[in-house]
Amino acid sequence: MSPGRRWAALAVLSTSLLVVVMDMTILNVALPDMAAALSPTAAQQLWIVDIYSLVLAGLLVAMSTLGDRWGRRELLLTGFSIFGGASLLILVAESAPTVIAVRALLGVGGAMIMPATLSMIRSLFTDPAERAKALGIWAAVASLGAAIGPIVGGLLLEHFTWQAAFLLNVPWMAAAIVAAVLLLPEARNPNPGRWDAPATVLSIAGMTALVWSIKRIAKEGPTDLLALAALAAGLALLVWFVLRCLRSDSPLLRVRLFAVPSFTAGTLAALFTMLAMASALLLAAQWLQLVRGMSPLQAGIALLPLAIASAVVSPLAPTLAQRIGARTVLVGGLALAGLGFAVLAVAPEPLTYTPVGIFLALLGAGMGSLAIASAIIMSGTPAEHAGSAAAIEETSYELGAVLGVAVLGSTAAALYRAELPVSDLAAAGLSPGQVEVARESLGGALHVLDGLGPAGAAAAAQAQDAFTHGLMLVGGIGAAIMLVSVAVVFALTPKGLDVTKGH
């Protein structure tokens, strides 16, 4: 394939990834309007948010292996069709259960698209130096999608109904199908071996149970028996899955790739980077809107330092790695993210946007390490096993995002509740039921306290301060977590690793 066609193919892969990643964050903006139109129960609203990531996480391994066997282009085209078709179905979605079903279908399409884009890059770019640059662009686009999702969502909701957040995907996917047919060659494992159906069931059930349990622990606390039972079951199923793969001549997932220390280092770096970004976007977006009083569009624009810094640094990371070493860039990116969290932790009170903007910029610059992590993961993986490597990397992204929200988001929520006593809220004039709503979230507190006069205004200010303190505490914990990641990844990554030369 000519160089021009390779880079055009990368544009198709990156653009399709942009849409999928945007879809993960755009819903956060559309959810209030959706809730007002459909009146879902609390449980239904939770499923609308969670079903996408549950389906995505559960199917990643199976879909990646299917791509290796069936054909990565075929899988990608099928994913585009399902993603676009599901988005179009939103026009007939007039109830919460229907929206949940649409979101589940989107998860199926996303599980096909995300690993296929990564494994296709491995197949298209056989030269390690070119591949490192391509993965840098891919990583920058992934970061950009997460950051601009709220902006696009805010713009759409200012002029259209909530369905527009879904319908945006339709023309993108249609264009992606045409471009993929014209530009992308087929690639598959020439010797796939037999399909392991029991391992497929174990991977789907184990990953779904693991992700669901972490999400539930984040919402209900670490003493929830149902969540703990699901966590134990998920871990047991995944251990069984790993043992089965290790004993198989044609495993569903090449878990032996973890025997290479640099591969493990790249995977852990991707997980920690996504942990940092997911928690940052969740908490910073809420702080900007509920404490600073910004509209969704204004908040999306205020989050741009993350996207801009990542878009600048990620494509440059491979060149920088060639000059100062892949380990230095990989560890340096994690350290920059940790420094960003530290800036947030030590910021003077009252917290202003300036330290938050610096935090977001440092985190975005630190995400340049994601490009090197991808290059490390893919450089040591044979082309026929690219699907397994892509599945592992994409799973690390998904788990990192879930853990970021669960660990850091729950920590912030715990401090918020601790600084908002029941007695203070009752004194402001809230009923017991309203007190629980106020302690559940800052958005709920501002809603029930609105119109209660000076006492309500004082309690609302107290709730905003409590949320801000939770955000700053997350800065300290996040800095500590990233420091640990620096030490672990540094120890695992060989000093002379050069991703531009394939070793």
- 384 and 247 in a single domain? The answer is no
List, in sequence order, every beta strand (DSSP E) within 23-91. none
Residue 396 has pLDDT above 90, yes or no: no
Encode pLDDT of 309-340 as tens digits.
Answer: 888 888 888 888 888 888 898 899 999 999 99
28 band by pLDDT with thresholds 50, 70 and 90: low
Total structural domains in the chain?
2
Question: What residue numbers bound the domain in which 342 lies?
Answer: 3-187+252-417+468-492
- 298 and 403 in a single domain? The answer is yes
| Portion of the chain with pLDDT greater than 90, in percent | 22
| 454 inside domain | no
Q: Which residue has the tokens 């134990």?
A: 232
Sequence-separated (6 or more) residues with CB below 8 Å from residue 487 = none
Range in 346-355, 379-388, 480-489 the model is least confident about: 379-388
Q: Which residue has the tokens 């001549």?
A: 249
| 422 inside domain | no
- 30 and 143 in a single domain? The answer is yes
| 312 inside domain | yes
Encode pLDDT of 176-217 as tens digits.
Answer: 999 889 888 887 776 766 788 889 999 999 989 988 888 888
503 band by pLDDT with thresholds 50, 70 and 90: very low
Where is the domain boundary, 251, 271, 295? 251
- 40 and 141 in a single domain? The answer is yes
| Cα gap 293→271, rounded to integer Å | 32
- 126 and 62 in a single domain? The answer is yes
Where is the domain boundary, 231, 251, 271? 251
| 343 inside domain | yes
The predicted model scores a pTM of 0.82
- 287 and 239 in a single domain? The answer is no
- 244 and 381 in a single domain? The answer is no
- 330 and 313 in a single domain? The answer is yes
- 103 and 219 in a single domain? The answer is no
- 50 and 74 in a single domain? The answer is yes
- 123 and 150 in a single domain? The answer is yes
- 217 and 265 in a single domain? The answer is no
Encode pLDDT of 413-439 as tens digits.
Answer: 888 888 888 888 888 888 888 888 888
Give the CA angle between residues 278, 52, 372 to the nearest 5°: 40
What CATH number is associated with residue 349?
Answer: 1.20.1250.20
Where is the domain boundary, 204, 220, 251? 251
| 429 inside domain | no
Instruction: Write down the mean pLDDT value for the chain.
Output: 85
